[in-house]
Amino acid sequence: MLKRLLVGGAVLGGAAVLARRLASGGDSDDRARHVSQTPEEYRGARHRVLILGAGFGGVSAALELDRRLSAADDASVLVVDRDNSMLFTPLLWTVADGRSNPNDVVVPIRNFQRGRRYHVLQANVEAIDLENRVVRTSAGDRPYDHLVIALGSVTVVPGLPGLREHARLFHTPADALELRNHLIDAIEAAHSLQDPEERAAWLTFVVGGGGDTGVELAATIMTYIRAGLFAEYPWLASESVRVVVVGRADRLVPMSSPRASREVQRALEGEGIEVMTGVSVEGVTDRAVKTSRGDIPSRTIFWAAGVAPPPLVRDLPVEHAKNGALIVDDHLRLKGYPEVYVVGDSAWAFDSATGTGIPPTAQAAEHEGRYVGQAIAAEITGRGAPPFRFAPRGHLALLGTRTGVAEVGGVTFSGLPAWALWHGYYVSHIPAWRNRVRLLTDWLAAEITGRETSQLRLGRDTVWKDEAALARETGSGGG
Ligand SMILES: Cc1cc2nc3c(=O)[nH]c(=O)nc-3n(C[C@H](O)[C@H](O)[C@H](O)COP(=O)(O)OP(=O)(O)OC[C@H]3O[C@@H](n4cnc5c(N)ncnc54)[C@H](O)[C@@H]3O)c2cc1C
């Protein structure tokens, strides 16, 4: 019996070690292969490639350089990011809809570095000096021979009356938790109020912006309330929940084909979401959202209409697009600075053959990052690179509990197949086994035991500062 237990334990232990190895990338000798570098070693390299930002664009560029450069090229590749993790934004919706944990959708950057020949510096990028080819970071200056700017974007909130004061944003795991917290507050308010108009206002949610983020945000709000919260408040389930998407363009997701726009609108309306296209938000008060088609009584507006590069990028003294993105040539280089490449949301780029604008998506950022990795490796090894071409792989949107829209290879479909494809594609695409395992486990657990409905407040001050006692102790209390 004891022998059987011991054998069973050893098998389980072995399986756990193997699973951990797989989850961490299967590296057999992590310490020996995990390279790191001093600032002096970086400075001393013959070709210094500095990548600012370890998101979709920056990491793709670093991985491509790792694939293409050899030790003989004497190149040092340094990736700088303020965080030690890469946020996999497409799956953020599953945190907001109560099925995943925030950690499931972020991947530690040093995971990618393991066994590869690029280096990571966790620091804030503070300034870029294009003339002197040096970047100031919170960990000191870093000169470069090639620079890749991949610093992403922030949500832009226009200065409409009351909008900046009231708008809620959706860009980070903290925003996803805050969305859940707020929806729970709104449902609690509806539960405790007697006045039907007040209740209706708390149960009305407006999303400004009919692009990819806006439509998925609206669907997430409806899904979380109906499939998550109403399980806790069954007596409210018969109340009418109003989610309204307000978009200024004449169709939803205007960067997709008209067919995909129609399918997205159909799917949203099928979920009970109101769609207003060709309508502008004109202002917000604490009681209503003012639109060009009249007021919508509501206590909640989420803003998802437009992104712009961070101020550091917008302030560079070069040519910018209207939203502040950096205008690049057909090799994704800054005009007048051929050693500087820009990728992802910070770039204003076009396909070199068709002249079509490149959308601010993870897919495009990855594609651009890979191209820039190839182009810099080609330069270092004395070759040239062809101009940049972008071939979109398709478009996926999660639009409800069991529905979505997919546009792949010219074919558009919706419903459960699109929903399943969305989950399959993104879970296989997040670049870490550990995250895949956790996501699948969490989604399954949510199906069986229900979605997460407890509030999690970030940054609440739990320390009671007894100012009077402090003053007495330090003798500064006077008297
Ligand atoms: C909620 C949401 C859902 C989305 N869903 C999809 C989707 O389904 N499909 C899709 O294709 N796209 C999606 N996107 C868009 C996609 O996330 C972006 O287009 C993509 O992340 C852009 O890649 P990037 O490399 O330019 O920037 P990012 O991936 O944002 O990376 C920028 C990096 O720069 C770092 N950084 C910024 N400033 C500094 C600084 N001063 N110092 C140091 N580091 C800094 C950041 O920490 C970050 O790691 C979504 C976006 C959001 C907000």
Residue 320 belongs to domain with CATH number: 3.50.50.60
- Give the number of domains in the chain: 1
Please report whether residue 70 resides in a domain.
yes
Please report whether residue 8 resides in a domain.
no
Mutate to test the pocket of ligand 1, among 87, 111, 151, 213 (most ligand atoms within 8 A of CB): 151
Please report whether residue 7 resides in a domain.
no
How open is the CA angle 192-178-453, to the nearest 5 degrees?
60
Closest CA to 118 of 186, 176, 42, 55: 42
Q: Spell out which residues line ligand 1, taking CB within 6 angstroms.
A: 53-58, 80-83, 86, 89-90, 92, 124-125, 150-152, 170-171, 213, 310, 312, 344-346, 360-363, 365
Residue span of the structural domain in which 370 resides: 31-82+123-155+308-380
pLDDT of 463: 65
Mutate to test the pocket of ligand 1, among 56, 87, 422 (most ligand atoms within 8 A of CB): 56
Closest CA to 116 of 4, 19, 37: 37
| 327 vs 58: CA distance, rounded Å | 18
pLDDT of 32: 38
Amino acid in the structure at residue 460: R
Please report whether residue 317 resides in a domain.
yes
pLDDT tens, N- to C-terminus, the chain (479 residues): 445 544 554 544 455 544 454 444 444 444 434 455 788 888 999 999 999 999 999 999 999 999 999 888 899 999 999 999 999 999 999 999 999 999 999 999 887 777 788 899 999 999 999 999 999 999 999 999 999 999 999 999 999 999 999 999 999 999 999 999 999 999 999 999 999 999 999 999 999 999 999 999 999 999 999 999 999 999 988 889 999 999 999 999 998 899 999 999 999 999 999 999 999 999 999 999 999 999 999 999 999 998 999 999 999 999 999 999 999 999 999 999 999 999 999 999 999 999 999 999 999 999 999 999 999 999 999 998 999 999 888 999 999 999 999 999 889 999 999 999 999 999 999 999 999 999 999 999 999 999 999 999 887 666 666 777 767 776 654 43
Please report whether residue 93 resides in a domain.
no
Ligand 1 centroid to Cα of residue 362, in Å, is 7
| 396 vs 192: CA distance, rounded Å | 38
Please report whether residue 57 resides in a domain.
yes
The first and second tokens of residue 432, run together, are 């870490």
Please report whether residue 375 resides in a domain.
yes
The first and second tokens of residue 133, run together, are 């080819």
Query: How crowded is residue 9: how many other Cβ atoms within 10 Å of its Cβ?
Result: 10
Closest atom of ligand 1 to CA, residue 175: 1
Closest atom of ligand 1 to CA, residue 170: 1
- At residue 144, what are phi and psi to the nearest 5 degrees? -150, 155
Please report how many Cα atoms fall inside a 13 Å half-sphere around the Cα of residue 185, on the Cβ side: 11
Ligand 1 centroid to Cα of residue 459, in Å, is 23
Please report whether residue 170 resides in a domain.
no
Closest CA to 402 of 390, 410, 414, 393: 414
- Reported residue count of the chain is 479
Q: Which residue owns the Cα nearest ligand 1 atom 30?
A: 152
The first and second tokens of residue 118, run together, are 């690029």
Closest atom of ligand 1 to CA, residue 53: 34
Q: Which residue owns the Cα nearest ligand 1 atom 7?
A: 90
